[in-house]
Structure 1
């Protein structure tokens, strides 16, 4: 398998972490989706990473779709529960973490791609409100548990860790560590895993 992506994307990192936890072999193809020579549109018509190219040449895209598929390939390091309620809870954690990052990325694009006089403070404030609401919800849902779902590491923790890691990387001014020490505690625990150490955003 080949994974087209970048070293800074939190969604690509999520897939890479799952690959490592599942002990799956793949080749990482680095791509800049903003560059004129980007290769990902050849496989993903949306021009987004991550994009997984399978052995038969078929392409799979969207990180949530990819990680769900990868979890079925081997029983090693099972990350998504099979029971419907627990499965839905894990996927809700993933949606929450991804959604907070989605909003933060929109802010970053607004600030970096638009001239300052064309930027919308109201738009930025609205998206940052989603980021802070997402962090608050994640902290509330985590409580004092060692992992999102209790005592077991799951895809929920992968998504949470990738989201927090990217926010620390791109938005250090948010300061979620001080505001939500329980998130910082679980993030530090997750970050000790080789899958996270080897995929630090760059």
Structure 2
């Protein structure tokens, strides 16, 4: 198996962490999506990462890859087989991905010439970020991990989203505004898988 990823993609980081946690033998190949010679579209017509290639089949996007990797690698499962628990995990992943989507939308808008930037985009997307952080902060409460206090893919997804938000918007004061998430992120960063895949500033 081969996983295509880009360095600071929070979506790809989720899969890299899952692979690390479950000790799955995978070849990692970093790509630069902005490179005009990047041929990633040959594996995914949407030209987005992550992509998991197994023989002649490519799997995308991150929620689908996560299901495949977790199921195929066997116990201990980080996405529960129990339906109700699985929905809770996938729900947190959806919030995490939406948080990343909003963060990326602001970043892309900032890349436009100042005269063409739309302040409504900034306000709308930042509102999504703050409301999502507030909801996640309330739901984690004072638990070490989200799902019954046990480490799961929900924590991986949200941990990657928090890492990306902290990278792009260091002005957000997690310790004072979202203390429960601050503690969750601190706990996750003790894990080797999170340390090895930490976002690199300005990339």
Give the SS at the match of 1:72.
helix
2:56 aligned with 1:69, yes or no? no
Q: Which residue of 2 aligns with 1:94?
A: 93
Segments of structure 2 that go 5 or more residues without pairing to the other structure are none
Task: Provide Cα deviations, 1:81-137, integer angstroms capped at 9, x if missing partner.
Answer: 11111110100000001111110100001102x101101001111011000010001
TM-superposed CA distance for 1:25, in Å, is: 1.1
Distance in 2 (CA, whole Å) between partners of 1:75 and 1:29 is 24
CA distance in 1, matches of 2:64, 2:73: 16
What is the deviation of 1:57?
2.1
From 169, 172, 180, the equivalent of 1:171 is 169
Instruction: Return 5+ residue gaps in structure 1 as ranges.
Output: none
Shift of residue 35 of structure 1? 1.6
| Two-structure CA RMSD over aligned residues (Å) | 1.0
Q: Aligned-pair distance for 1:39?
A: 1.9
Trace 1:62-141 onto structure 2 (pairs within 5 A).
62-112=61-111, 114-141=112-139
Structure-1 separation of matches of 2:38 and 2:176: 39
**Alpha-carbon offset, residue 11 of structure 1:** 0.6
- Normalising by structure 2, what TM-score? 0.95
1:1-59 alpha-carbon deviations (Å, 9 max, x no partner): 111111111011000000001100111111111220112111000010111111x1210
Distance 1:27 1:50 in 2: 13
Q: Give the total of aligned pairs.
A: 200
Partner in structure 1 of residue 145 of structure 2: 147
